[in-house]
Amino acid sequence: MNAVAFPDPAVFDFVNTNLIPVRIPADDPELGPRYKVKWTPTLLILDAEGGEHYRTLGFYPPEELIPSLLMGIGKARFNEPDRPAACDCFEKILSNYPANSLAPEAVYLNGVSRYIETHDVANLIGIYDRMAAEYPDSPWLTRADPYRLLKK
Amino acid sequence: MAEIKWITSLDDGLKQANSKKRLALVDFFNPN
């Protein structure tokens, strides 16, 4: 991963601004088994207690790594729960990387986060409508399909 | 070229994550 994505200036700026970067050899006798690391590169997003919220496996080019890290941060904030912070991550994926493969999931999680905060079903309906309009071939459209039944 | 300042201890990284209210990015790499 170091040879491909991390030297990229945008990735460097993103990681230094948003995360605490830690590098551990995969054969670490304690941490490898604890986090079930079976292949490299494995990237984890952990909270300050060491809890895992997101994982990637394999090499990511720079333009794929930043939206992936945004998804990881967003999921961690969703779980905390800090839903406004989570929405901020999901919306950055949608505004800056709308063609990324993670964008449909960002639509889904953004709408769910907003629904949890507001209990307004318009947010769930909005997931379906946006998914159908912008990502009609995504499996996430199927996952959002019940929300179309909420329309009056 | 800019380089990420990697921390090589998970405990130290998590302490920084706690103090800076950030999440940790842990890169498990192939040492061989």
- Residues A10-26 have a mean pLDDT of 96
ipTM confidence score: 0.97
Whether A101 has a pLDDT exceeding 80, the answer reads yes
pLDDT at A6: 84
Mutant choice from B8, B11, B12, B28 vs A, greatest count of A C-beta within 10 A: B28
Boundaries of every domain in chain A: 9-150
Q: Does A16 touch chain B (CB under 8 A)?
A: yes
C-beta separation of A115 from A108 below 8 A:
no
CATH of A9-150, one of 1.10.8.590, 3.40.190.10, 1.10.287.3510, 1.25.40.10: 1.25.40.10
- What's the rounded Cα separation, in Å, for the pair A105 and A87? 12
A19: exposed, middle or buried (C-beta count within 10 Å: 0-12, 13-18, 19+)? buried
Q: Do B14 and A50 touch (CB under 8 A)?
A: yes
Q: Å from A106 to nearest chain B CA? A: 19
Model confidence pLDDT, tens digit, residues A29-60? 999 999 999 999 999 999 999 999 999 999 99
Host H or E run for residue A88: helix A83-96
Nearest chain A residue to B3, by CA: A7
Q: Å from B5 to nearest chain A CA? A: 7
Mutant choice from B9, B11, B25 vs A, greatest count of A C-beta within 10 A: B25
